[in-house]
Structure 1
């Protein structure tokens, strides 16, 4: 008998010092505690996001309706709204350039088209306390951190390796020798889920959560919160989510996309796939009409990074304030924590 209850899976990708920093991907079920993660010594956030979606699809075949929750508008758009136009244009984007990460996107499209059960995508706000979004963020960053240090071997689906090695950020990538042989037409070493290993056990998930604390983007409190999910899903998460949130993106016909945008404006539907970003989606957070003005200094500065190219960067982030405000609205900031959500790097 077919179980027609929704199966909900969260996915996330991570790149430290994006682009060309250590990269990770992860997915996690909302029931049962099942999860998987991987990454590479370097890559991009976008490749990580797409690897996570592809691996989640391949790990959850069958007729049961699948809902993929992600904070990546890029991953959602690549899997849904942009694909028809790219196919018509011969896999060129809105700028007339070849579509980045095409092997991954084509593989995702193939999985969605051939899966007996339906696939829906739901956008969730990143870094906002969602238990499973934090879990996959921590697992992805944990693997990225370990891969960057050489403590873990690169683990991507073969389409992920092809996308990464075809990108401008392939220099220095540590590709396992057996994977190189398969990429060169040798014997197959990756299983149908793109791995040479079984998916993550509970202990390995905890190990990655501890490793993630080494990354400035994940603090100990978040890792501790994530670790609490490894013994099983919280009661609230065990609900099988029959009611799809309003931001769900279905296999919507092109003629219906305009109406869908009116009702669900959060995911960006414009083709911005020629920009590499880190968690760009979080910049849409609300601020109740409040505005801040003035010059501040973020430390350490970009010039202190080994990845610094001498150019100005465009960043997206948020500042946590705990300070007095005077009647005219002025606040004196002293070493306020800054959470970096995005670094945009133009081609």
Structure 2
């Protein structure tokens, strides 16, 4: 993290959940201001039919959209290697190949990857994979919210 004050950053913990794949799903994020040691925002949303990968990406996108006006460094924690490796390793190659894989097939979820790439560009973001269900309180909270929403009967948002 490129910051002069060790804890002067915003921590975003995200998770997505899907009951079946595809099936009902949801995403959630928890945002903590590490400088003030306080939770700034918690959000979640449910979709009637989606995939787990779309929910993992949607969680990060929603969080970055909610905090796009900050100029402070951001730490994004995700238990999805798909998200972390995708944004840090795969996106540059996909972009160079016009959003095609090495096998020249269209990138899955390209719409969300393009949105995430736009939101992340020119921002001081550190991407960190965290092991799920391993005691990280904010990841556990995001997981609980996403799973609870995905499991609920009520549909709050459609896609």
Shorter-chain TM band = 0.7 to 0.9
- State the SS of the aligned residue for 1:85: helix
Q: Name the structure 1 match of 2:28.
A: 26
Residue 14 (structure 2) aligned to one of 11, 14, 25: 11
Residue 114 (structure 2) aligned to one of 106, 115, 127: 106
1:81 aligns with 2:89: yes
Task: Quote how far apart the aligned CAs of 1:153 are.
Answer: 2.2
For structure 2, list consecutive stretches of 5 or more residues without a partner in the other structure: 33-37
Q: Name the structure 1 match of 2:59.
A: 52
Q: Name the structure 2 match of 1:41.
A: 48
Q: Name the structure 2 match of 1:93.
A: 101
1:129 aligns with 2:129: no
Task: Quote how far apart the aligned CAs of 1:105 are.
Answer: 0.6
Matches within 5 A, 1:207-222: none
For structure 1, list consecutive stretches of 5 or more residues without a partner in the other structure: 156-160, 162-347
- State the SS of the aligned residue for 2:39: coil
State the TM-score, normalized to the length of structure 2.
0.86
Task: Quote how far apart the aligned CAs of 1:39 are.
Answer: 2.0
Contact 1:39 1:48 in 2 (8 A): no
- State the SS of the aligned residue for 1:135: helix
- Which has more strand, going by share of residues? 2
Task: Quote how far apart the aligned CAs of 1:51 are.
Answer: 0.2
- State the SS of the aligned residue for 2:103: coil
Deviation string 1:194-219 (CA, Å, 9 cap, x unpaired) is xxxxxxxxxxxxxxxxxxxxxxxxxx
Provide the C-alpha distance between the structure 1 equivalents of 2:117 and 2:40, rounded to a whole number of angstroms.
Answer: 26
State the TM-score, normalized to the length of structure 1.
0.41
- State the SS of the aligned residue for 1:34: strand
Query: CA RMSD of the aligned region, Å?
Result: 1.7
- State the SS of the aligned residue for 1:67: strand
- State the SS of the aligned residue for 2:62: helix
Provide the C-alpha distance between the structure 1 equivalents of 2:110 and 2:53, rounded to a whole number of angstroms.
Answer: 12
- State the SS of the aligned residue for 2:156: coil
- State the SS of the aligned residue for 2:48: strand
Contact 2:30 2:39 in 1 (8 A): no
Contact 1:73 1:123 in 2 (8 A): yes
Provide the C-alpha distance between the structure 1 equivalents of 2:102 and 2:63, rounded to a whole number of angstroms.
Answer: 28
Contact 2:22 2:52 in 1 (8 A): no
